[in-house]
A = this chain, B = another copy of it.
Amino acid sequence: MKILITSGGTTENIDAVRGITNHATGTLGKEVAECFLAQGHDVTLVTTQRAVKPKKHSKLKIVLVETVADLIAELEPLVKTHDVIIHSMAVSDYTPVYMTDLEEVEKAPAVKDLLHKSNTSAKISSQQDYQVLFLKKTPKVISLIKQWNPDIMLIGFKLLVGVPKEELLAVARRSLATNQAHYIVANDLTTIDDNQHLAYLVGKDDVVVAKTKKAIAEMILERVTHD
């Protein structure tokens, strides 16, 4: 099968030297890629420059992206030509619009007006005691996948931080329905560290639990190849 995997975290630039980054390391995506490669599948991995990557492999192709806009541009044609997508990348949900000092915000007749401004300088000055950064929502990439290719099998991810298990599963089930996913891997940052990675593979009719990145990868492989 042709397997498309996304991993790592996107960065949205504030100016030429600063950006807002999602802290994802790419470790889980690497593990999933290696799992599928070991079974002879073709893998395309869309990831970032600083993410951890699998070893070179004749059946592995790596595509590098940085921003959400890059990701959308690279992903659309790939989604149309793959059988399965495992979308584990942490995609920035907001992107910078305009950064200014407190005075401009205080003096603006309507705060909304500032959303139409943009910074002209390549490196925003650092003279003021405070800065205000306006951000706007990025497109939800996971919601575009089935629009691009209704036949692709979609495994999505949901990461929350410090919520009860019931809430995590409820949010995953909503994502499953909204994005027409086959499974959503639901996990919580507070139960992820170097030695464990607790995750629930949430399907329409079942929930399976895994406790390490390797177990998550094997669980995904098993579901994708036997469903």
State how many angstroms separate the Cβ of A188 from the closest Cβ of chain B: 10
- Which residue from chain B places its CB closest to the CB of A129 in the assembled complex? B137
Question: Is B130 within 8 A of A135, CB to CB?
Answer: yes
Q: A166 in the interface, Cβ–Cβ < 8 Å?
A: no
Please report which residues of chain A, range 167-186, place their CB below 8 angstroms from some CB of chain B when the two chains form the complex. none
Q: Which of A17, A102, A132, A189: most chain B Cβ within 10 A?
A: A17
Number of interface residues of A (CB under 8 A): 45
Which candidate, A29-37, A53-61, A156-164, is the interface stretch facing chain B? A156-164
Q: A131 in the interface, Cβ–Cβ < 8 Å?
A: yes
State how many angstroms separate the Cβ of A181 from the closest Cβ of chain B: 18
Question: Is B94 within 8 A of A126, CB to CB?
Answer: yes
Copies of this subunit: 2
State how many angstroms separate the Cβ of A190 from the closest Cβ of chain B: 8
Please report which residues of chain A, range 1-32, place their CB below 8 angstroms from some CB of chain B when the two chains form the complex. 11, 14-24
State how many angstroms separate the Cβ of A28 from the closest Cβ of chain B: 14
CA distance A136 to B83 in the complex (A): 47
For A136, list chain B residues within 8 Å (CB).
129-130
Question: Is B21 within 8 A of A161, CB to CB?
Answer: no
Question: Is B189 within 8 A of A122, CB to CB?
Answer: yes
- Which residue from chain B places its CB closest to the CB of A14 in the assembled complex? B20
For A105, list chain B residues within 8 Å (CB).
105, 111
Question: Is B133 within 8 A of A137, CB to CB?
Answer: no
- Which residue from chain B places its CB closest to the CB of A159 in the assembled complex? B17
Q: A195 in the interface, Cβ–Cβ < 8 Å?
A: no
Where the two chains meet, the residues of A that have a C-beta atom closer than 8 Å to any C-beta of B are 11, 14-24, 50, 90, 92-94, 97, 102, 105-106, 110-112, 115, 121-123, 126, 128-137, 159-162, 189-190
List, sorted by A's number, 7 A–B pairs whose CB atoms are closer than 8 Å. Answer: A16-B161, A17-B159, A21-B21, A129-B137, A130-B135, A130-B137, A133-B135
